[in-house]
Every structure is written in structure tokens, then in C-alpha cells.
Structure 1
């Protein structure tokens, strides 16, 4: 029986061709997958996980194309004619898909430069969110209100991109105004104490306290508190509350806007200062 099958195999070109195709598929596809994994393992330390995966995907697609060409050759396709027709079609398609080619090349630049990684928070134009995937043609961004935004790679190359989580620590800046009746040194001292008492604010670098100048109805200060990137939202939410509590405790007034009204040239100016009542939680007049 085995001899008959062997004789049938060697006497049938179709069976021999099918066997060669099966060998190409059985050995070629696993080999392509193995090579792509090796490439990803080599490139991950240098280009990051997303960059290594992207180039490994390109290698995988190229390997699949090579396997397909080998199978077509076994079936007797004239690859010279096919490639010639593909070349002509490629020129026509190239003119029609210049944007896609630009996105592909831009994606390779992004992978090489590594301005951000998967999981980073970035700002692109009016969008802010977490990088979910860096693809061959576009980046997928997940915004904080749970929307998925697809941004072409060409746009990322041409636009200013802010990587919010690039560095391990960040500074949270707040602007505060107090009444003109308050002492500048005393206000700066209270702000310093609030920053030092907050457990999420770093001691080094120390918080920046700056007197920004004179506003229309307030003395303006800026406090910049350093914290680790995972605690940014906590500091941004809690620090203003701590400052308000400290000001109330120390009797420091955070004023309402003031306006001065005066008459025209035909009459003697009579300045009238409109000052709203103090906040309910301030000390009553004696």
C-alpha cells in the first residue's frame, strides 16, 4: 500500500506541487512568527514596547508576503508580469495615497525618536489623554472622559506634542489673590507652611512661592508645589482647599473684585468704592 502511494506521489506533479506548498506554509508561517518575536525582543529595550511591536509587525507582514510569493511561484504564476503590473499600479496608488505614505514614514520617525510610550499621558492640540496604541498610520488616544481619538502620525510630527508623564515629578502651579490690606511676608509664610504640611508635596525640590504683583483688586501670589506624577490630581484638588482653610484660620482675606465709579468732566468727580461684605466665615467686627 505504501509503495503504491509513493508511486502515485512521484507520478503526479499536482500532488508534488501540493506537498511543496504545504511544506512552505507549515515551515514558513511559524518561521515568520519566530523571527518577528526575536525582532520584538531585540528592539524592546531600545525602542520601547510599542516601537518594538510596530517594527516586529512590519517584519511579520514582510514575511507573510514572502511566503505568499513562494506559494504563487509553486502554482506557476508569472511573478515578473505580476510585479510589473504591481509596479505600474503602485505608482498610480502612490500618487493617490501620499497622505498614507506620509503617515507611515512619520510613524517610523515617532518610533525612532520615542517622544512618548504606550501608557503616557500626552496633549495634542485640544486633546489630552492616554496613549493606547502607536500604529503604522495613526495613534490611538484615550481621553479622560473615555473617548477614543485617532490622530494621524503626520499630525503628531507637525504639531507640538506635550508628554505630561515624561518625567517622574511635576509641579502644580496655583495663582492666589489676597486683599491689599494683608502683609506680603505673612501671606508667603502661610503658603509655605501649607505646602510643607501636605504629605504629597515633595520637600526636594521645595515649593516655589512668588509674589506676582498687583492686580485690580488683589495682591497676587503663585505657589508651585512639586509632587510625583501619580499624585498630581490629588495635589491639584487638595492644595486650594488647604490654602482656603489656612487663610480662614489666619484671618487672611481673599477679596471680591472692587470698582471705582467717577463722574464725567461736566461734574466734580465723586469716587464711590463698592466693596462687598466680607465672607460669612470671617471674624465679625468688634
Structure 2
């Protein structure tokens, strides 16, 4: 064996010896760090399971009190996130990170993130207001932020709607609170607004009678409030009647469509003309 090979072997042997000595000298410290790291991992794992269980229990309790589904989901999410932050701090403290320092760092990071994400914080605050004042609940058909749909869920930052053509619409909570909220499902009854135009030559009293008798045949139309029928305008080509029956909110669209068809058929049967736009041209000989 050459002198160079012997030197390399000796150097390697010395390195291994130093490593073994260092491991022996610091074995207690390494074991302590290993135990702390494993403990931190267990805290995260078990804590996450406990957080999910607590959030699930909160949901069950709120559901048992017959709270709105959207509100239950919102509160459950808040509880889950807050508890997970506590678990994370406990895990970090286990590996030697000072809890006070962690809280300070989280506070500073929260301030920086808050300044950078002011829109998100406004959405969160708006979500809290929605849950607190409850202008609508899960399943209501509403118009918010310029869009309409059935409320599916209220999340921390946005409200989820389902449009009538089965599209998911995500509306930021700040847009919901910042504009007008129209809740079409809030009350049990709703008025159906129709406009019916008839010819200027039509008998107006007969027209009102035919429309009323037609609508009164529909059992879905309520007796109280009474049906409103009156002349709305003398338009360019027709006399326009306003027709306003009342029905249950759940029957609104079926009553709307069926009433239009029934009125058209009844007017035809009684010889009452529904005119189309027309222009009279008078010609004179010069």
C-alpha cells in the first residue's frame, strides 16, 4: 500500500473517530432533540385530529339547535382555524421555540398580511356581519353583488350561490354587504307582476272580468290579498293592464308562466285582441 493511501486511510479513521466521539459526547442532546421533534410531530398529528373532532362536534351541536347550514359552516371553519393555530404554537414550543416569540411573529406577520390583503380582511369582516345579521339563509334565492341564485354556503371570505341554470357563483362577502340584498325567499307569499296589452277597440270592463275569472280558476293564486287589475297606461299600440295576483313564494314561477298562457287563451276565446306594434300612415293628395 502506498504512503498516500495509508495517509488517506488514517485521515478517514481519524474523522470517523471524531464523529463517534462527538456522537457519544452529545448523545443525550441528540436524544432530547429527537424526542422533541417526534413529540412535535405527534402534537401536530393528534392535535389536527382533535381539532377536526371538535369542529365536527360544534357543527353537530349547532345543527341540533336547528341553526342555518351556512352559519354552521362559517362558525365551524372559524373554530377549526383558531384551534389549529393553538396546536401549531404548542408543536413549535415543544422543539424549543419560545411561545412569546411565535405569538409576536404571528402578530407581525398578521399585520403585514392584513395591510397587503385589506380586501380579504374586509371580506372576512363582511362574512361575520352576514352571519350576525342573517339577511338570508342557506337555500334562499337572493340577488347580491349583481348576481342571483340560491345560497349554498357562507364561507369566511365569500358566499357561494347556485344560479338557476346550475352554475356555481362565488361572490365576495364585501360585495354582498356593500350592495343591496334582495331576498326573494324571505316571505311566504309573493306578488306576480304581469302587464297585458289589449286593443284600443276592446271593452275594458269585459277585459278586466275575463282576466279576473281566469286567474280565480287557479287554486295556487291566493284570495287574500286580492288580485289587482287596472289600466296602467295608454301605450302607442295598446291599452296596458297591470295584473297583480298573489301566490306562495314556492309557486311564483309556475303561476307566472301559467297565468300568461291562460290569460292569452281566455282573451282569444272572448274575441279580445292583443295587438302587435303598428303605425297608422295617413296619406293626403297634395
Residue 158 (structure 2) pairs with residue 138 (structure 1): yes
Q: Given the superposition, is the C-alpha separation of residues 110 and 192 from structure 1 closer, same or farther in structure 2, using an over 3 Å criterion?
A: same
Q: State the alpha-carbon separation in 1 of the partners of residues 218 and 145 from structure 2.
A: 33
For residue 258 of structure 1, report the CA deviation from its aligned partner: 3.6
Q: What is residue 80 of structure 2 aligned with on the other side?
A: 60
TM-score, normalization by structure 2: 0.79
Q: What is residue 40 of structure 1 aligned with on the other side?
A: 59
Pick the aligned partner of 1:92 from 97, 112, 122: 112
Structure 2 unaligned spans of 5+: 1-30
Higher RCO structure, 1 or 2 (CA under 8 Å, sep 6+): 2
8 Å Cα contact 1:47-1:114 kept in structure 2: no
Q: State the alpha-carbon separation in 1 of the partners of residues 34 and 144 from structure 2.
A: 58
Pick the aligned partner of 1:178 from 198, 201, 215: 198
Larger Rg: 2
Q: SS where residue 245 of structure 2 aligns?
A: strand
Q: SS where residue 170 of structure 1 aligns?
A: strand
Q: Given the superposition, is the C-alpha separation of residues 125 and 176 from structure 1 closer, same or farther in structure 2, using an over 3 Å criterion?
A: farther
Residue 221 (structure 2) pairs with residue 195 (structure 1): no
Give the structure with the larger helix fraction: 2
8 Å Cα contact 1:121-1:165 kept in structure 2: yes
TM-score, normalization by structure 1: 0.79
8 Å Cα contact 2:89-2:102 kept in structure 1: no
For residue 28 of structure 1, report the CA deviation from its aligned partner: 4.3
8 Å Cα contact 1:124-1:159 kept in structure 2: yes
RMSD: 2.8
- How many residues align structurally? 256
Residues 1-286 of structure 1 aligned to structure 2 (within 5 Å): 13=32, 17=36, 24=43, 28-29=47-48, 31-41=50-60, 43-44=62-63, 45=65, 48-261=68-281, 270=284
8 Å Cα contact 2:73-2:153 kept in structure 1: no
Q: Given the superposition, is the C-alpha separation of residues 21 and 90 from structure 1 closer, same or farther in structure 2, using an over 3 Å criterion?
A: closer
**1:202-229 superposed Cα distances (whole Å, 9 cap, x missing partner):** 2222322122132222211111121222
For residue 149 of structure 1, report the CA deviation from its aligned partner: 1.5
Q: State the alpha-carbon separation in 1 of the partners of residues 141 and 54 from structure 2.
A: 32
Q: SS where residue 221 of structure 2 aligns?
A: coil
8 Å Cα contact 1:47-1:112 kept in structure 2: no
8 Å Cα contact 1:174-1:222 kept in structure 2: yes
Structure 1 unaligned spans of 5+: 1-11, 264-269, 272-286
Q: SS where residue 146 of structure 1 aligns?
A: coil
8 Å Cα contact 1:133-1:139 kept in structure 2: yes
Q: State the alpha-carbon separation in 1 of the partners of residues 214 and 271 from structure 2.
A: 15
Q: SS where residue 190 of structure 1 aligns?
A: helix
8 Å Cα contact 2:33-2:95 kept in structure 1: no
Q: Given the superposition, is the C-alpha separation of residues 47 and 159 from structure 1 closer, same or farther in structure 2, using an over 3 Å criterion?
A: farther
Q: State the alpha-carbon separation in 1 of the partners of residues 140 and 260 from structure 2.
A: 26
Q: Given the superposition, is the C-alpha separation of residues 257 and 13 from structure 1 closer, same or farther in structure 2, using an over 3 Å criterion?
A: closer
For residue 25 of structure 1, report the CA deviation from its aligned partner: 5.7
